[in-house]
Structure 1
């Protein structure tokens, strides 16, 4: 980790208030906070609250209470993704204008039927949108915006914990950047925020590895500097199952 000076280090903890803070999330927050403070850097708190249908106000309060109980203090003001929609839409518009993304009008039912046919044929169920190469899609119907993932080649990340990890483009769908209601998806919003707030290091659970592949695709399309990634093993209960919001929280 020599490419940044110690004073340049900026980490973040980005919980989603759809459930209570659990021990795995608390550990991730601690790792990010300790690393930033050890390097005399900054630790930011970002609330990923774009999925309005799943928001839980009690869970949001518990996140703040939990971090304070742990003695974790964040720098600067709390970042709320719900207040940054224009930033996301500007980036989506840029990708559309540059031909790096497209409007997809396929319904979920059409996508499911497409994948069922592939499954019967014993083929991979990767969805290839019929709208990918169409120009000037200005229909009045609802649509999602998808990123054009290269069809040939590989994507590689150098993880600080896991080492080199590679995915084939052919195994990755054209990821959705914005939903049919116009709201930004997790991966798009995370990339824009990490870029805008100059995050240098992303430390999180290894269940995010596939998200990292998708996020690198967005970084590459936008020609933005990619932060360092460190994916740590998940915490499992005595039953061998990973600890998640629905079953464990710090206050159980």
Structure 2
């Protein structure tokens, strides 16, 4: 608690350390409205606390990660006025480091080689479906000696997840969230071809980048517990989590193409929305400061805190955005407006 009695954004003992946030998009062709807001919240939190805001491109999916998609993300962030500290990290360039950590866990006895075949795993899942059991790996190789496997048999490396007790995350938006660790499975760290999985790569990158606060959509809340099991296995510092509710359409359904454009470039290029208006609108989408509607970037940096992020999904209203954009356009001086039109 702060001296005023308000909940602090910072973890106990963090006041002397530097806040480090990260925005970690997967390049899928454009900067999604929801991703843009997540990027803003990370940037604002870091700037408010005088910390660092880092950018990581999670480009391990080679089929979808194109130079054009990456350029579109950079352009969208730049248009919103978000600058990043340090050089952007490309996850695909760090596979060797990710594998190194998996082998460390193997050597520590906190991960193991699983030789289960695809046929065995499918039979396991079929039985779980039939018995209406939770769909998760049953740990059949967790305590077996690798020498029991046929010579040269392919294997994956799995984390030894905790099997008893409870795990609690003191989420800065959702509050305390607790799971029974029996719900966690021994998930795959390295595939049979030696490539790292997303779950491994994210945790290693966050640690190596010194990330102290992970601010992201609440669709990642379940992942947080699985990632925390890996963090604890390595004995690494635990980050502070803040899982933000997703953006919905006006009808309350998850935001999709039927609600309108999903990428910021469509509002920039096709609808004439100016950067300040989009920044202001996304800021107020799930975060508030009293009844204030118009808030500049400088004011946002000064006022932003996770305590003012709502727990409920916010609704994207394109008409409200266009109305706000009109206010910003009317306040622009002639020179700026002429440059924009040109």
Aligned to 2:170, the other structure's residue is in SS state: strand
Indicate conservation of the 8 Å contact 1:103/1:144, yes or no. yes
Q: 1:154-194: per-residue Cα shift (whole Å, max 9, x none)?
A: 21111011111111122122111122222211121111111
Choose which of 68, 76, 83 in structure 2 pairs with 1:66: 76
Choose which of 39, 46, 63 in structure 2 pairs with 1:53: 63
Q: Which has the larger radius of gyration?
A: 2
Listed as ranges, the gaps of 5+ residues in structure 2 are: 1-9, 267-342
Choose which of 155, 163, 178 in structure 1 pairs with 2:167: 155
Q: 1:210-244: per-residue Cα shift (whole Å, max 9, x none)?
A: 11001100011001101100011000123433236
Q: 1:39-70: per-residue Cα shift (whole Å, max 9, x none)?
A: 11111001111222332332111100000000
- The 2-side partners of 1:244 and 1:106 are apart by 38
Choose which of 245, 257, 266 in structure 2 pairs with 1:233: 245
Paired residue for 2:34?
24
Q: 1:189-209: per-residue Cα shift (whole Å, max 9, x none)?
A: 111111111111110010000
Which one has a larger percent helix, Structure 1 or Structure 2?
A: 2
Give the root-mean-square deviation of aligned CA atoms.
Answer: 2.1
For residues 238 and 113 of structure 1, do their structure 2 counterparts lie closer, same or farther at Cα, with a shift above 3 Å needed?
A: farther
Choose which of 262, 268, 273 in structure 2 pairs with 1:248: 262
- The 2-side partners of 1:136 and 1:106 are apart by 11
Indicate conservation of the 8 Å contact 1:6/1:39, yes or no. no
Taking structure 2 as the reference length, the TM-score comes to 0.69
Aligned to 2:124, the other structure's residue is in SS state: helix
Indicate conservation of the 8 Å contact 2:110/2:233, yes or no. yes
Listed as ranges, the gaps of 5+ residues in structure 1 are: none
Paired residue for 2:326?
none
